[in-house]
A and B are shown apart, each in its own frame.
Chain A
Amino acid sequence: MFWKPNPSSGIPIYLQLVDQVKHAIETGALRPDEQLPGIRKVAGDLVVNVNTVAKAYRELEHEGVIELRQGFGAFVAGNSAESGAQRKFLRALPAMRTAVNRIAQLGLDEQQMRRLFETELTRLRKGSQHD
C-alpha cells in the first residue's frame, strides 16, 4: 500500500509516512474505521525502523487522522477531517475525468493539458472575470 520512503530526501521518514497515510485515506485505499496495517508489518515491508513507523502513527493520532485502540491496532478515524476531504475528492473525480477526456480528444498532449490546468487555477486564484 505504501511506497518505500526516501531516506535521503531531507524529509524525515516518519513525515513521509504520515503523508502517505493521509493520501491513502484521500484516495480511498483506507476508509474511515478501517484498520491500518500493523506497525511491525509496515516496518518490515518498507524496511524502516519500527520506531519510525510508531512515530508516524503517533503523529497521525495526534492530528486526529487515526485512532490507536489499545490491544486492537490503529484505525482510520471515523469522522476525521480526512474522510471529509476524501469525500470531496471522490465527488470531484467524475467532473475532472470528463474534462480530461474531452480535452484529450482535442489532441492536446500531457504538457499542454497541464499548462491549461495551471492557467485555469491561476485565473481562479486571481478571481479574474476574463475567460
Chain B
Amino acid sequence: MIEEPIIITRKLRKAYGRRVAVDGLDLEVPSGSICGLLGRNGSGKTTALKMLMGITRPDSGEGRVFGQRINNNQESLAIRARTGFLPEDKLVPGGMTVGELIRFTRAFYPLWRNDLEEHFLRLFHLPPSMTGASLSKGARCQLSLVLALSRGAELLVLDEPTSGLDPAMSEQVLRSLVTLAGEGQTTVLFSSHQISEVEQIADRVCMISRGRAVLSEEMDELANTYQQVRIVFDGKPPVSEFDNAREEGRTLSMLVRGDVEEVVARGRAMHALSVDVAPATLKDIFLTETSEAVE
C-alpha cells in the first residue's frame, strides 16, 4: 500500500498586491524522503514554505501536511507541533542567551533530541552564555539550525539550511539530514541555492519557476527524462526545427525532455554530420527549465 505523501498541495496561489508570488503550485513530498526545492530568487520558494507552515495564508488552492489543512488555524497548529521549521531569515531573539533559547524551545517539544542538541552545539561551538544579539550572522544560522533539527520532529522544512555556513559545516548539516532520514522517522523538505547539495542527498527534486512547479521528480528518473543533445550539420543548422536549441556555427545544442530517440532520428533524417547524446546535469536542467528568457 502506497503511503500518502506527507506534504501535498494543489494549485496553491498567493499574491502580494499585484505581484503573484505563488501561481498554482502542485507539490508532493513522499513520507520518509529527502526532497530538494530549487528555484531562482523570487521564484516563490519561501512563500510556498511559509504557506505550508501557516505563517502566511494562501489566496486559493489547498495544501495538507500530515493530512491536516494548512489554511485552518487549528490544524495548522497541529502541523507546526510536528515540524521543525527553519525560516529564511535566521533571526533569533536578541535578549535571550543561546542556552536560554534552547531551554525555552525544548520545553515545547516532548520529543526533543538531546543527542542532536549536544552534537550540534559541539559542532558549531556555540557559547551557551552568548546573547542572540551578539551572535555573528553565521552563528545565528547555526543556532536556528540547532533549534529546528533537535526538535525530534517527523518533518523538517528548511529554507536554505546551509546558507551562511562554510563548506565543512554545510557538509555536516547535510550528513545530519541524511542520517535523520536514514533512520526512517524523518521527512526532509529543504530549499537550496546549491544545486550540488540537492544532487548529493535528495531522493526527489522540485523546481519552482515563477510560482509554479516546472519539475517534480525522483532524482533517479531525471537521468531518464533529460538529456543533452548536440547535432552538427554540414551548413547552417535548421534551428527552428528543434525546441529550445542554441545555435553556434554549424552546431545545435539543446536539452531534451522525454523522447530523445525522436530528436536523434530527426537530426539524422536532416543529414546531420554527427549526433551526440550526453547525460544532463541538474544544473543544465535548472538553467533551462527556470530560464526567464522572453520569447
Contacts and interface: CB of A to CB of B under 8 A. Distances in A.
A55 interface: yes
Contacts of B34: 49
A44 B201 contact: no
Nearest to A54: B182
Interface string A42-71: 011001111100010000000000000000
B281 A10 contact: yes
B178 interface: yes
Contact of B182 (A10, A12, A14, A40): A40
A47 B200 contact: yes
Contacts of B281: 8-10
B178 A11 contact: no
B291 interface: no
A49 B223 contact: no
Interface residues of A, number: 17
Contact of B199 (A7, A44, A50): A7
Contacts of B196: 7-8
A44 B200 contact: no
Given A7-B196, A8-B195, A47 B203 contact: no
A48 B179 CA distance: 9
Contacts of A44: 175, 178-179, 182
Taking residues whose C-beta sits less than 8 angstroms from the other chain, chain B's interface range is: 20 to 34
Contacts of B118: none
B254 to A, nearest CB: 16
A9 B278 CA distance: 11
Contacts of A48: 178, 200-201
B44 to A, nearest CB: 25
Nearest to A44: B179
A55 B182 contact: no
Contact of B178 (A9, A10, A12, A49): A49
A55 B223 CA distance: 15
Contacts of B199: 7-8, 13
A49 B201 contact: yes
B65 interface: no
7 contacts: A9-B281, A12-B223, A44-B175, A47-B171, A47-B174, A48-B200, A48-B201
Interface of B: 34, 171, 174-175, 178-179, 181-182, 195-196, 199-203, 220, 223, 278-283
Interface of A: 7-14, 40, 43-44, 47-51, 55
Given A43-B178, A49-B178, A50-B178, 19 more contacts: A7-B196, A7-B199, A7-B200, A8-B195, A8-B199, A8-B283, A13-B199, A43-B182, A44-B175, A44-B179, A44-B182, A47-B174, A48-B178, A48-B200, A48-B201, A49-B34, A49-B201, A49-B202, A55-B220
